[in-house]
Amino acid sequence: MPRLPKFTLSRDKNNNDWVLKADGSGRSVRRFETKAEATAGGVLQNAVGGAGGSVKIKKSNGRIQEERTYPRSKDPKRSPG
C-alpha cells in the first residue's frame, strides 16, 4: 500500500492566520483566516486533493490536537481512533 502524503495545519504567528503545509517540503498548500474556516466540512479534504492524505491539526500553542485521514477509507485499520 503506498504511503499517504502528510500535511500539517498550524498557526502562522507572522501573518496571523492558519497555514496547511506539506510535511517534508515545507511548501504552503493553502492559507486560512481562522482554524474554524480550515476545519469546516470538506475544506481540508479539498485542500489535500484527490489523492488524499493525512493532516495533523495543531492548536495555536503548537501541540497536536488531532489527526485526520482523507478519504477515510485510506485510514489504516490497525491505527487507534
Which backbone phi and psi does 72 adopt, to 5 degrees?
-60, -25
pLDDT in tens, the chain (81 residues): 567 889 999 999 999 999 999 998 888 999 999 999 999 988 888 888 888 889 999 999 999 999 998 877 676 666 665
The DSSP bridge pattern shows strands 28-32 and 17-22 to be antiparallel
- pLDDT of 41 reads 84
Give the angle 34-21-13 at the CA atoms, nearest 5°: 50
Residues 61-80 as b/e (b if ≥16 CB within 10 A, e otherwise) read eeeeeeebbbeeeebeeeee
User: Could you identify the residue written with the cell 506539506?
Assistant: 22
Domain range summary for the chain, segments of one domain joined by +? 6-74
pTM (2 decimals)? 0.85
